[in-house]
Amino acid sequence: MKTLLSLFCLVTYLTCALSANGWPVSLDMACNKALSAVACTFEFTNDANENLYLLKRGTPLEGLISRFITVSVAGSPIEYDGPFVHRLPPTKDEFVLLKAGESISTTVQITDAFSIDTDGLYTVQYSRPLQYLSVDEMSELSNGLIMESTVQESIHIYLEDTRVLLKPRGPEETDKVDYTVNIESCSSASFVGGTAANNKGTLDAHKKLCSGIDKVNIGNNTLYVKWFGAFTSARETKVKDVYKKIRDGLAGCMAIPGKVSLRFMFVIFFIHFLFLVEALVLTPRSLD
């Protein structure tokens, strides 16, 4: 009896200790099968005694466009068939204010990203840390500060008649946007399709990239080694050559047959942006 009692105390103590020292954001999950889909609801609660900004990116709060859960049946994980999105560091507007004690909840259809076609006992586990900042820390976001909170939540659900469930939809022809960008110079471009706001954003990004690319210092420095590996003159020539192509492409000097697709521009922007952001913003002193 005494042992039982101590065991009970120990369990109670552990539970209390865990919640007292626990992470500031907790999660409650529930999944249900409707006729042709399995939907899961996620409720995030701010357990801290201060207001927090929770990053929506990488969570169900922005929809099922990243892998934040693992789904397994009989111990075997099912492949994630949803989108993979690569993005620049988060900005303020991607956070949602969660006041102390408050919750926010959302529902996503996990059948949109996981192909469920075997009947059985499924485990859905939240697999990604939550990222947040306190209200005071928000000003540090530009310095890359972001806090992480681990959530350990999983649910089990027995699913049958899984043959009739909807399957994830791969990228299709119809998803292609009818949108083209013609780069004319470092400061002008013309657009076919797209909204005025989108086009302005693209042009602004283009101008920034174009004016920034000449400031990149390609030489034997730590940034170079980090991005391109050991510095050798053969490799330096290659890197400079690629940079020249990007530069010419950005400035509109490159002979581009027809129109540049948005996807192509994006790839160039993205690769260059990563290097440039780090070169110009994160380590300005390494640049002279």
Ligand X SMILES: *[C@@H]1O[C@H](CO)[C@@H](O)[C@H](O)[C@H]1NC(C)=O
User: Quick one: which of 173, 159, 152 has its CA closest to 114?
Assistant: 159
Nearest-approach distance from CB 280 to ligand X, in angstroms = 22
Q: Between 101 and 219, whose beta carbon lies closer to ligand X?
A: 219
Smallest gap from residue 234 Cβ to ligand X (A): 10
Q: Which of residues 222-241 bind ligand X (CB under 6 A)?
A: 231
Q: Does 266 bind ligand X (CB under 6 A)?
A: no
- Asked if 211 is part of the footprint of ligand X (rule: CB under 6 A), the reply reads no
Q: List the beta bridge partners of residue 25.
A: 46
Cβ pair 74, 158 in contact under 8 A: no
In the bound state with ligand X, the residue whose beta carbon lies nearer, of 228 and 231, is 231
Closest CB 275 distance from ligand X, rounded Å: 18
- For the chain, how far is it from start to end, CA to CA, in angstroms? 74
Q: Which is nearer to ligand X, 141 or 223 (CB)?
A: 223
Query: How many residues bind to ligand X according to rule CB under 6 A?
Result: 2
Pick 179 or 231: Cβ nearer ligand X: 231
Residue 286 contacts ligand X per CB under 6 A: no
- The residue among 93 and 288 lying less far from ligand X, judged by its C-beta, is 288
Find, among 72, 74, 34, 78, the residue nearest to 166 by Cα. Answer: 34
The three-state (H, E, C) secondary structure of 205-266, written as one string: HHHHHHHHHCCCCCCCCHHHHHHHCCCCHHHHHHHHHHHHHHHHHHHCCCCCCCCEEHHHHH
CA distance 248 to 183: 11
101: left (phi over 0), alpha (psi -120 to 50) or beta: left
- What gap in Å lies between CA 264 and CA 67, rounded to an integer? 25
Of 9 and 225, which has the nearer Cβ to ligand X? 225
Query: Is the distance from CB of 40 to CB of 31 less than 8 angstroms?
Result: yes
Residues 67-96 that bind ligand X (CB under 6 A): none
Site mask, ligand X, residues 146-185, x = CB under 6 A? ----------------------------------------
Which residue of 15, 19, 32, 220 would you call a contact of ligand X, by CB under 6 A?
220
Kindly list the residues in this chain that would bind ligand X in the complex (CB under 6 A). Answer: 220, 231
